[in-house]
Structure 1
Amino acid sequence: MAKQLIYSVYFILPVLLLWNARPAGRGQWNDSLSLEQTKAFQGFLAICIMLHHIGQKTCASWLFPKSRIVPGLEFFVPIGYVMVAFFVFFNGYGAYKSFHTKKDYLNGFVKKRILPVVLALYSTTLIFFVARLLVGEKMDLNGALLYLSSIKLCNPYTWYVIVLPFFYLAFYLAFKFIKKDGLAVAVVAAFVIGYMLVGTTIDHNDYLIRGEWWWNCVHLFPVGIVFAKYEDKIVPHLRKYFWVYVIVAVLALYPLYILSVNAQNVFSYYGENWGAPDTVLRRRITLLTQVLVTLDFVFAAILLGMKVKIGNKFLKFMGTITLEFYLIHGLFVEFCDHTFDGGVKSPFPIKNVFLYVLVVFALGVPSAILLKKLHGLILGKGRSGKNGKSVQKAA
């Protein structure tokens, strides 16, 4: 009976998302792009991403021996990239909106946008490095330097904060030195697409751009920028044909997902494992199907948010620590797994998946709070913790 408790997450999650949700009346609209709304949804997705990571440790098909597999979180195992897509979209959207609404936004851009992400990367890298030493992982000087530089991921959950600063830097350079707005957008889009094309040429490895999760949802960064640029035209159009778009978007999500699953089975991201001569083409075909899935998911989320305003104290709180929780919860995922990131034996393995989830969440939240406070002190933001008014855009 205790093993079946994990299935309660499929009841708990909808309650967390819809608790205190308020549908808009007939002819009325909610601003699904407001800071308050997007932060609340990101807080919800942060929990889902935690379940994704735990699912990979407990019930993923690639686990060996098969006796290790404990069912319950299969739904979350293959969809991590879909959930991260929402974050990437609003990274691009927020950067563009801020550029056009905040005076001298690019002044200090590196300090305001890029430095906090880099700090988050290396602070958690250091924490994981100490953890690896404590659990008994053996490493030589070269291995230690690879870990501390994040060329080899010491924190295995940091690909996002390695990639994002480069996208922000491309945005900064494009909009600082290119005066034509449309051309600057095109340059950023070209940079991201170029990154994706390079990524598809690299075999799976232990270092940077080590797998498809490094690039199968990043196209949402320029998509977010384009949406922000044409928002005044897009949103009225969506409202005019709302029911058509929302029905199509919601109904298309599952077929598109199945299409992507079939593409992975037929073409695969892992052609190098059997010496496929067309490995790059196989990856790009598979990638195209996942591009469609992530576009539709973000589109559906925005549309549904136009008619339903989500937000409660819990989601509002989680929305304030999403980055820190995203980066630090993995430490406890590893501590409670069979092995610590595929290496030495983990010190506190938990076989009951529901208890595993509770422990990771219970330790991840206070750790994220402390990490946020630490980052605030280092960056000189110790006295500022407000996220802005509810009418503020997700900038």
Structure 2
Amino acid sequence: MKKTEVITAFFMFIVWCIFLRVSGFIEVQKISENEIVGWVLLALLMLLLFYGAKKAPAGDYTKEMFCLKKSKAFQGFLAVCVILHHMYIVLSSKLGYKGVLSIFENSGVIIVGFFFFASGYGLITSLYQKEDYLKGFIKKRVFTVLVPFFICNYAYMVTMLLMGRKYAMSDLLYAFIGVKLLNSQMWFAVEIMFLYFLFYFIFRFIKREKMAYTIMGVCIVAMMAGSLLLGHDLTTDEIANWFRGEWWYNTTFVFFMGLLAARFKEKLLPWIKKRYYLCLSMLLVLSSFFGFMSKRLLEEKGYWIENMFYKGYAEKIETLAFQLPMVVCSVAVILLLMMKITFYNKVLDFLGRLSLEVILINNVFIIVLLKLAVVNEALYIIAVFVTTILAAMAIYKIKLWVLDKKDYWGRKYYNK
């Protein structure tokens, strides 16, 4: 990577950090509580993301900017951020933690938004480019999520039981078949499988294109509305029920936007390229505005204002009205940056292939190794990453064996 490319990449990273700071997603003062760990962690994340990155020629754009291989590599970086986000959630709730990981407190919603967008975009792209794509779709898409979901589900269940956690037998039975979640952070797998099923049945049996998109959009909005109306399950903090919580609906619509982006990309991309810097500037401003407003609403009203006698629907809708546009604009900023810079190296490629397994299994080790966090924060972070990645590799190989994908690490996996 040339010197000018490094400088450009660093500059764009700083712009992104400024956006996060302005919108309230980075609390800079908290890093000072443990400066060495904080700055080393940020430096390593920058190295992971920008090592091997390539800037498009002046006035041009990256080739295959949204191809599966490059998108998966970037999702590998996001998977690392998910681990740090989950670490902060557990540490803050269990130990009252206020250390360097605080910068990842509000990152989860943007990360999930990108995953949803990439999933929707990939589905439509494959549907239009691959002949008979929907043939065998359930195995190719749903089972690819279902297999690691159950492996990680059982791993978490056994771990909690061995640690002495007590559950009602009925809850264990429901959790065993996945109808309830002992690990609430596995909700993403359930929802993405649900969206895959919707996509398959709608686009398989509805031949009129506009009608298929319309019905898909209506179904997604109905999912969001139903989840919002259900509210949180205030009777327990141990067992997570499907669609009970704002995380089930505050980013779901981005999946539909991914479908639309893939459908209209031939018209969208030329329009965006003519106005690239204007679009990027406006989206940064809008992201900051919506981010600031959503953070303020989350602190003053938010999704958790409800109690046994008041559902707080008005406050939830108001918060969603600012948080969802923030996610959309933030994902759009990331996509625009990817049009100018290709984030790819062998480590990101490796992590990208394991991203689903990493997201699903990391909470096991975050909890098991929790006592280590009290002794040494840096050692705790390292231990969680090492154990999570090793476990994710094993689960990934089991998944490929179950699904009869013989080439574990080669190109055949991408082409299936």
Work out the CA distance in 1 between the residues paired with 2:336 and 2:413.
22
> Would the alpha carbon gap of residues 314 and 77 (structure 1) be closer, same or farther in structure 2, given more than 3 Å must change?
same
Deviation, 1:64, is 6.5
Q: Aligned pair in 2 of structure 1 residues 261, 3: CA closer, same or farther (>3 Å)?
A: closer
2:392 aligned with 1:368, yes or no? yes
Of 118, 127, 150, 1:122 maps to 150
Report the counterpart of residue 343 of structure 1 in structure 2. Answer: none
Which of 72, 86, 89 is the aligned partner of 1:39? 72
Aligned pair partner of 2:301 in 267, 272, 290:
267
Q: Does residue 1:14 correspond to 2:46, yes or no?
A: yes
In 1, the alpha carbon distance for the partners of 2:410 and 2:122 equals 17
Residue among 232, 237, 249 paired with 2:271 = 237
2:220 counterpart of 1:192? yes
From 116, 136, 154, the counterpart of 1:108: 136
Look up the match of 2:380. 356
Q: Deviations over 1:167-214 (max 9, x none)?
A: 111111111111111211111111111100111112212322221111
Percentage of pairs with the same residue: 28
- The match for 2:126 is 98
Q: Give a deviation string over 1:19-43, Cα, whole Å, max 9, x none.
A: 1111111122113211222112101
Task: Give SS of 2:121's match.
Answer: helix
Q: Distance in 2 between matches of 1:221 and 1:387?
A: 26
Shift of 1:120: 1.8
Structure holding more helix per residue: 2
Structure 1 2/358 Cα, relative in aligned 2: closer, same or farther at 3 Å?
farther
TM alignment of 1:188-337, pairs within 5 A? 188-205=216-233, 206-273=240-307, 275-276=309-310, 279-337=312-370
Q: 1:204 and 1:235 mapped to 2: Cα distance?
A: 40
Q: What do the CA deviations read for 1:121-176 (whole angstroms, capped 9, x no partner)? A: 11111111111221122234213202212233123321001111111111111111
Q: Distance in 1 between matches of 2:330 and 2:105?
A: 17
Other structure's SS at 2:241 match = coil
Q: Which moved more, 1:348-357 or 1:11-20?
A: 348-357
Equivalent-residue separation in structure 1 for 2:48 and 2:178 (angstroms):
35
CA distance in 1, matches of 2:116, 2:411: 19
**Does structure 1 residue 142 correspond to structure 2 residue 170?**
yes
**Could you tell me how far 1:100 is from its partner in structure 2?**
0.8
Contact 1:271 1:279 in 2 (8 A): yes
1:265 CA displacement: 2.8
Query: Aligned AA for 1:166?
Result: F
Question: Over the residues paired in the alignment, what is the CA RMSD in angstroms?
Answer: 2.2
Matches within 5 A, 1:34-113: 34-58=67-91, 60=92, 63=93, 68-113=96-141
- Alignment CA distance shift 1:154-1:105 (3 Å): same
Corresponding residue for residue 344 of structure 1: none
Pair 387,218 (structure 1): closer, same or farther in 2 beyond 3 Å: farther
The correspondence for 1:24, drawn from 25, 50, 56, is 56
| Runs (5+) with no aligned partner, structure 1 | 339-347
Instruction: Return the match for 1:154 from 178, 182, 189.
Output: 182
Q: What do residues 205-245 of structure 1 show as CA deviations (whole Å, max 9, x unaligned)?
A: 23222211111111111100000000000011111100101
Unaligned runs of 5+ in 2: 1-31, 234-239
> 1:260 touches 1:286 (CA, 8 Å); kept in 2?
yes
